[in-house]
Amino acid sequence: MKQKEKLVLASASPRRKSLLEMMGLECNIVPSDIDESECERESAEFLSLELSRRKLEAVRSKIKSDVQRYSYLSADTVVSLDGEIFGKPDNFEHARAMLAKLSGKTHQVHTGFRLENVKGEFVEESVCTDVTFASLSSGDIDDYVRTKEPMDKAGAYGIQGIGGGYILRISGSYTNVVGLPVYEVLKAMKQIGVIVES
């Protein structure tokens, strides 16, 4: 694939950058630094889309250039169980509480993304994947939290890391759970001409 313009990733997530690089796409990371607590939590789908919009808008306002052309991609991942939304844990106890609730149950992972090309045309979508956790003992939870892996991840786990050992099954996009639904993002890029097949 050949890029038509420079891609700016409005996210501090190294996992999203790695997923794009796996697809042969280079990007510049520009963190948005938005206050995520200010968003309404109407639903996980709504929140994932609203946060991705706000991230993109914040980063677009940071970048001013009359020379280079930029396209923008933002994303936000939200975990939910029975209507309760799980963001990133505030501390170790919060992480333990989240994992105890997810233990032995099937929850949903929503990643909302927004893609804009240089003309301002955009595509946005929220993709949902069902994830089933194994039953975790308190010892399992303590051992996992001690690794510190849960602390910067929605739902307090990383499927691509140690946390993957606690997952029984998933239904839907794996990369969506990692943090970026690659298939849907590539489809959106083709739809609005951010990239073309070589």
Q: What would the pLDDT profile of 108-140 be if each residue is shown by its tens digit?
A: 999 999 999 988 899 999 999 999 999 999 999
**Sign of the alpha-carbon torsion through 54, 158, 189, 110:** negative
DSSP-based three-state secondary structure for 163:
helix
User: What is the tally of structural domains in the chain?
Assistant: 1
Distance between CA atoms of 100 and 166, rounded to whole angstroms?
A: 12
pLDDT band at residue 159, thresholds of 50, 70 and 90? very high
CATH number for position 124: 3.90.950.10
pLDDT, position 148 = 97
Say whether 76 is catalytic: yes
Query: Residues 65-94: what's their mean pLDDT?
Result: 88
Q: Identify the domain containing residue 164 by its residue range.
A: 2-196
Distance between CA atoms of 112 and 31, rounded to whole angstroms?
A: 16
pLDDT band at residue 67, thresholds of 50, 70 and 90? very low
Distance between CA atoms of 125 and 115, rounded to whole angstroms?
A: 9
pLDDT at 86 over 60: yes
pLDDT, position 68 = 58
The residue from 35, 76, 130, 143 that is catalytic is: 76
